[in-house]
């Protein structure tokens, strides 16, 4: 059985992600890449957690539970999305078949040259639009099915998750420096996370850079009708129409207690 070593870091946040507390444990692991790499191998995950303060047993178990929940949530979201597109796939095929029948009928039964014009209208105005209703469900159904099988295979071959305290002094010093920096700055969420991200980038702390990038993106692109279902960008509208809704890969986070620098 293969042992996979992963790092986790307890980093300062403003409460939205951490459920009202000021610190969040972030597991530096991308779920989709982990599934692709280790989905077919029996393995156990050992998470080395680096925190400014010593964590209790319950907090370590909370991180392990967040790891397990991320895989289960990803599997459930993909399965639900695939089930929705399963019915859209059938309706898209029916609509595309009707449009094809109309084009063939126009070509056979209308007099020349009007039959050619009618076929062109059918192709360029109806087929291109209806193709999205046919292609999108089929594409998402096949892609999400592949993801669903990969997640299921990874869950079956995962032999547990163990969380231990990290012993690398350099990484411990990085999280302590992030805590000290957090106690010195103030501002709104996006501004504060941006400053923490820049500070982490200067330190070469790439895991913290990824974490704060994700937080900023979540704040700027919160799910709403106007950002997800009706985006302003024409390119995003085209991708949404032909490729459908992509399931977001979950990030593994767990709320921690307040660890601010004592006065």
pLDDT band at 129 (very low <50, low <70, confident <90, very high): low
* Euclidean distance between CA atoms 67 and 250, whole angstroms: 10
pLDDT, position 19: 47
The model's pTM: 0.75
Most confident of 82-86, 93-97, 123-127, 196-200: 196-200
pLDDT digit string, tens, across residues 173-220: 999 999 999 988 887 788 899 999 999 999 999 999 999 999 988 887
Strands annotated E in 29-68: 43-50
Model pLDDT for residues 60-74, shown as the tens digit of each residue: 999 999 998 988 888
What pLDDT is stored for residue 103 in this prediction? 78
pLDDT for 263 beyond 50? no
State which of 36-50, 79-93, 233-247 shows the largest mean pLDDT: 36-50
- 84 compared with 184, residue with greater pLDDT: 184
State the chain's mean pLDDT as an integer: 81
Alpha carbons 84 and 190: distance in angstroms, whole number: 34
Domain edges within the chain: 2-82+157-256
Is 73:248 a contact under the CB 8 Å cutoff?
A: no
Give 215-249 pLDDT, tens digit per residue.
988 887 765 545 555 555 677 666 666 666 777 78
Q: What percent of the chain has pLDDT over 70?
A: 79
Contact 215, 26 (CB under 8 A): no
Which residue's entry shows tokens 């289960």? Answer: 72
> The tokens of 133 are what?
């209703």
- Of 193, 185, 192, which Cα lies nearest the Cα of 213? 193
119-127, Cβ contacts within 8 angstroms, sequence gap of 24 or more: 126/99, 126/102, 127/96, 127/99, 127/100, 127/103
Q: Give the C-alpha separation, 59 to 257, whole Å.
A: 9
CA distances (Å), origin 166, targets 140, 169, 181: 40, 8, 21
Span 130-169, pLDDT tens digits: 666 666 777 777 777 788 888 888 888 888 889 999 989 9
The answer to whether the bond into 113 is cis (omega within 30° of 0) is yes
Q: What's the farthest any 2 CA atoms get from each other in the chain?
A: 89
Token pair listed for 84: 């929705």
Residue 175, class by beta-carbon neighbours within 10 Å (0-12 exposed, 13-18 middle, 19+ buried)?
A: buried
| Assigned token pair, 219 | 């704040």
Q: Which residues contact 166 (CB under 8 A, 6 or more apart)?
A: 7, 8, 48, 49, 50, 172
């Amino acid at each position: 059985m293969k042992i996979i070593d992963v790092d986790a870091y307890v980093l300062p946040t403003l409460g939205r992600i951490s459920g009202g507390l000021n610190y969040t444990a972030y597991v530096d692991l991308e779920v989709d890449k982990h599934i692709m790499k280790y989905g077919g191998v029996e393995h156990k995950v050992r998470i080395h957690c680096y925190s400014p303060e010593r964590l209790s047993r319950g907090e370590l178990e909370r991180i392990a539970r967040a790891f397990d929940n991320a895989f289960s949530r990803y599997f459930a979201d993909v399965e639900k999305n695939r089930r929705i597109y399963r019915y859209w796939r059938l309706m898209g095929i029916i609509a595309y078949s009707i449009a094809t029948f109309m084009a063939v009928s126009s070509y056979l039964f209308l007099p020349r040259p009007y039959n050619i014009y009618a076929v062109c209208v059918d192709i360029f105005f109806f087929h291109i639009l209806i193709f999205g209703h046919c292609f999108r469900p089929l594409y998402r159904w096949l892609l999400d099915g592949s993801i669903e099988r990969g997640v299921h295979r990874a869950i079956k071959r995962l032999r547990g998750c163990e969380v231990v305290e990290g012993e690398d002094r350099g990484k411990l010093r990085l999280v302590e420096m992030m805590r000290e920096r957090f106690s010195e700055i103030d501002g709104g969420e996006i501004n504060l996370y941006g400053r923490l991200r820049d500070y982490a980038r200067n330190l070469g702390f790439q895991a913290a850079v990824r974490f704060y990038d994700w937080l900023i993106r979540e704040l700027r692109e919160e799910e709403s009708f106007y950002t997800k279902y009706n985006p302003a960008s024409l390119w995003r509208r085209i991708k949404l129409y032909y490729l459908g809704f992509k399931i977001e890969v979950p990030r593994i986070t767990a709320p921690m207690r307040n660890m601010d620098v004592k006065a």
